[in-house]
Amino acid sequence: MKLLSLCSLCILLAFNAPAQFSIRLVVTDVATRQSDDVYVSGTFNNWIPNDEKFKLKPFGGSRKSIVIKNIAQGNYAFKFTRGSFSKVECMADGRDISDRIVDVSADVSLECSIAGWKDDYPEKPKRYTASPQVKIIDTAFAMPQLGRKRRIWVYLPKDYATSTKTYPVLYMNDGQNLFNEQTAAFGKEWGVDECLDTLQKKVDAGCIVVGIDNGGDTRLKEYSPFDFSEKGGLAPPDTKGEGTLYADFIVKTLKPFIDGKYRTKKGRDYTAIAGSSMGGLISTYVVLQYPDVFSIAGVFSPAYWIAPNLYPLTEKTNTENKIRMYFYAGGKESKNMVSDMERLYNLVVKKERFDVVKKINQLGEHSETFWQQEFPNFYLWLMKKDQ
């Protein structure tokens, strides 16, 4: 009888064990340095660029391959290197490439071509492109909730210095990508300052924008309100989400400072937050958790796939305050980007106190180029101007 029970338990555990899959990567072509060792580095090995267990092996002719086994279901990001990130793959003209993404829900096989290596292209100085309306408030602004410091940017409308007006405030994540090519990831900025300079002339609607730099290595956990233990992929297992602390920093430390230093409209009706990818995820969380402080969220290509707990949280959210949300996604992003965004959009669109807009660009990719293109439409909607 005990033996039968033990067998039953083993069968039950087998059925309930999380599925494990394999990723087979084949590099079919390498533009230069074909004889060098090639490694794959990604979220499945904590981005170690020279991990011998992730070195590709010859696979007929000039091809190289690797099979990564025992991978849990989820999305994984990766790049190829020649042993360090100074020797990471890039575009054929030397420009950086976005992380490669693989969606694992079964065994998967991918063929890849490496167009170039970063060390074949000397680094060119990037231009400082921020307009005179952009200032750095502090390069080491204290974040007591997180025990860290961060660079904070501010954009002031062109008429700020010559008027006594007060202005609404838009808080934006990934501040280094908003105004300045010199600090932007992949050398591409949103151009928020130039966009607002132009639109303010057309619609006479100024806004203060506060840019909060991401923390680099801490970006993923700061922008996630949930732990990563149940959803592998972007972060090591058991990584603790710090999104609640990051949200508290904005609400309890940064906003009071901004309201005290600048002529702001302090009420919730004039306070917005926006961001892309993980920044879109945390923007969603902030407006849902602090509806008495924020009334508006700009959600660009949100990384909802790593935060399944956000859906039940959204479903339970009820507020007497009106909330406005602007959703945008591209049709050429990750496999589930549009459907994940639409799932959350469908939860809030039927709520009585929510005013929501959804925009899908079927040609849109996951990059600053497309977020920059959509930002003027968001801003006009934000300021309640005809588009």
Give the tens place of pLDDT for each residue, 256-291.
999 999 999 999 999 999 999 999 999 999 999 999
Boundary-marking domain end, from 120, 146, 170:
120
What φ, ψ does residue 131 adopt, rounded to 5°?
-75, 165
For residue 235, pLDDT over 90 is answered with: no
* Over residues 99-103, mean pLDDT: 89
Q: Tell me how many domains the chain contains.
A: 2
pTM of the model: 0.75
Worst-scoring range by mean pLDDT, 111-115, 275-279, 305-309? 305-309
Domain shared by 49 and 158, yes or no: no
Domain shared by 181 and 311, yes or no: yes
Residue span of the structural domain in which 342 resides: 134-382
Can you tell me the distance from the alpha carbon of 269 to that of 276, in angstroms, rounded to the nearest whole number?
22
**Is residue 159 included in any domain, yes or no?**
yes
Q: What angle in degrees, to the nearest 10, is found between the helix axes of 192-203 and 368-382?
A: 30
Q: Pick left, alpha or beta for residue 308 (phi over 0 → left; psi -120 to 50 → alpha; otherwise beta).
A: alpha
For residue 99, pLDDT over 90 is answered with: no
Tell which wins on pLDDT, 202 or 212: 212
**Is residue 10 included in any domain, yes or no?**
no
pLDDT for residue 205 = 83
Task: Give me the residues paired with residue 27 across strands.
Answer: 64, 112
Domain shared by 106 and 213, yes or no: no
For residue 356, pLDDT over 70 is answered with: yes
Boundary-marking domain end, from 72, 93, 120:
120
Domain shared by 266 and 310, yes or no: yes
**Is residue 296 included in any domain, yes or no?**
yes
Domain shared by 69 and 140, yes or no: no
The CATH number for 317's domain is 3.40.50.1820
Confidence of residue 385 (pLDDT cuts 50, 70, 90): low
Confidence of residue 15 (pLDDT cuts 50, 70, 90): very low
**Is residue 103 included in any domain, yes or no?**
yes
Please answer whether residues 131 and 193 qualify as being in contact, where contact means their C-beta atoms are separated by less than 8 angstroms: yes
pLDDT for residue 2 = 47
Domain shared by 54 and 148, yes or no: no
Question: Tens digit of pLDDT for each residue in 360-379?
Answer: 999 998 899 999 999 999 99
* C-alpha triplet 204, 206, 323: angle, nearest 5°: 110
Domain shared by 156 and 113, yes or no: no
Domain shared by 100 and 142, yes or no: no
The CATH number for 57's domain is 2.60.40.10
Please answer whether residues 65 and 21 qualify as being in contact, where contact means their C-beta atoms are separated by less than 8 angstroms: no
Please answer whether residues 144 and 253 qualify as being in contact, where contact means their C-beta atoms are separated by less than 8 angstroms: yes
Domain shared by 91 and 146, yes or no: no
C-alpha to C-alpha distances, 372 to 4, 171, 284, 339, nearest whole angstrom: 63, 16, 19, 22
Tell which wins on pLDDT, 289 or 1: 289
Number of Cβ within 10 Å of residue 160's Cβ equals 16
